[in-house]
Amino acid sequence: MAEARGRQSILANLLRWIARTILLAWAMIWLYYYAGLALAGYNSAGLYGAALPAALFAAIVLSLFVAWNLELLGALVFLAAAVLAFFQWEQPHWFSLLTICLPLALAGLLLLSAWLVARLMRRAAAAMPVIAPPGEQQTDDESRWQDPGW
């Protein structure tokens, strides 16, 4: 049983880190793009021209922090963002689908599956009986809390 829990733990960690790697690569590409937009917007329209790219930059960083710490919420945020990005255009171009929707949807699905694997692992661990190591006596829960009589 411990071996199965270890495999599930490895699977959950692997899914988490693949999703995090995809999100970090996606974020770096778009943050570079938004930094260029902010500089161009600041040069042409002043501070107001840099406000939207800066807000998008902050939204990406905030969503990465959410996904890093809260897998389920991060998965839902990125899946919702992928759906919203898909329906933004009447006839989406394949490049926009490939660079915006696909990484968001893939990372969201990976985070969701990592959360499910971790949840199933916790439930399985809670349902397992406690077995005493060899050479020790098996005790039930009530006798464990009785006064030892010292």
Domain contains 145: no
Residue 92 forms part of a structural domain: yes
Whether 150 is in a domain gets the answer: no
pLDDT digits (tens, 9 = 90+) for 93-148: 787 788 888 888 999 999 999 999 988 888 877 776 666 566 666 555 555 555 55
Q: How many domains does one find in the chain?
A: 1
Establish if 96 belongs to a structural domain: yes
134: left (phi over 0), alpha (psi -120 to 50) or beta: beta
Q: Does residue 32 belong to any structural domain of this protein?
A: yes
Q: Of 42 and 18, which is predicted with more confidence?
A: 18
In a domain? residue 148: no
- Calculate the average pLDDT of the chain: 77
> For residue 92, is pLDDT > 60?
yes
Predicted TM-score (pTM) of this structure:
0.69
Q: What is the span of the domain harbouring residue 60?
A: 2-136
